[in-house]
């Protein structure tokens, strides 16, 4: 008998409408798919296809107009604002194209920021941040500031920061969009390692070579899933 995979997330008939200048824009038009734990998914599609809207919903940064989004069995659509904030802080790791590092802070201090805002920064968690810096290959850059780092190194800091709360569910928005081919390969190697360790990763990209490194690609068009293919 084949074992049934545990789901990290389940999305059913997810719809999102926006009202702009008095007109309703249908950004997502009933999107459904399952995300088994440990999956590695790339989301692609032309501008306006719904990629960013979907990522915002999966990251609990926005609420759907209708449909359900179960994260670890809990329906995110029914959470209040405090519950959404707690879910974002404790269960989801975010990686952005623009890194979003604070220029006045060192590598370790940037990694510490989620703990600082959560009031959980102490000697033990500081040590964990140093270990995360080493994990992403920045053990010799602990006291460097973003301006002293390459783009790839800055993205490594951002990835380490996303791991500080040990999330099993990671979302990446064009994580290699500002990087050259060498740095892109380094970041993709790192993400592949994190996925191999069991983390579920969903990334938005417009680059085929990035999508080819994932195990599954979902292509959106006009708010619908056009294709959903697993390698």
Domains of the chain in start order, with CATH, are 38-63+80-230 (3.40.50.300)
Segment 85-144, tens digit of pLDDT? 889 988 999 998 889 999 999 999 999 998 888 788 888 888 999 999 999 999 999 999
Segment 210-229, tens digit of pLDDT? 999 999 999 999 999 999 99
Identify the bridge partners of residue 204 per DSSP, sorted by sequence position: 43, 173
Q: Which long-range contacts (CB under 8 A, 24 or more apart) does 133-142 make?
A: 133/107, 133/108, 133/157, 133/160, 135/160, 135/163, 136/160, 136/190, 137/190, 138/107, 141/107, 142/106, 142/107, 142/108
Other beta carbons within 10 Å of 70: 17
Q: Is 63 exposed, middle or buried (0-12, 13-18, 19+ CB in 10 A)?
A: middle
Q: Which tokens belong to 201?
A: 């990763």
Segment 42-82, tens digit of pLDDT? 999 999 999 999 999 999 998 899 999 999 889 988 888 89
Does residue 76 sit in helix, strand or coil?
A: helix
pLDDT at 207: 94
Q: Which tokens belong to 2?
A: 């084949």
Helix (H) or strand (E) run with residue 171 in it? strand 169-173
Identify the bridge partners of residue 154 per DSSP, sorted by sequence position: none
CA distance 166 to 7: 18
């Amino acid at each position: 008998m084949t074992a049934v995979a545990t789901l990290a997330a389940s999305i059913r008939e997810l719809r999102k409408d926006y009202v702009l200048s008095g007109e309703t824009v249908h950004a997502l038009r009933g999107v459904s798919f399952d995300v088994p734990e440990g999956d590695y998914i790339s989301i692609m599609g032309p501008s306006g296809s719904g990629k960013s809207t979907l990522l915002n919903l999966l990251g609990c940064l926005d609420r759907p107009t209708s449909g359900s989004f179960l994260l670890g069995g809990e329906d995110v659509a029914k959470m209040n604002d405090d519950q959404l904030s707690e879910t974002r802080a404790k269960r989801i790791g975010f990686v952005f194209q623009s890194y979003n590092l604070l220029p006045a802070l060192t590598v370790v201090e940037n990694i510490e920021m989620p703990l600082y805002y959560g009031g959980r920064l102490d000697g033990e968690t500081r040590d964990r941040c140093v270990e995360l810096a080493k994990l992403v290959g920045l053990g010799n850059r602990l006291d460097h500031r973003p301006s002293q780092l390459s783009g790839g190194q800055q993205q490594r800091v951002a990835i380490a920061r996303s791991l500080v709360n040990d999330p099993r569910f990671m979302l990446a928005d064009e994580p290699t969009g500002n990087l050259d081919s060498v740095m892109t390969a380094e970041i993709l190697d790192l993400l592949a390692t994190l996925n191999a360790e069991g983390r579920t990763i969903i990334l938005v990209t417009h680059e085929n070579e990035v999508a080819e490194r994932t195990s599954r690609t979902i292509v959106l068009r006009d708010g619908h899933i056009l294709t959903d293919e697993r390698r």
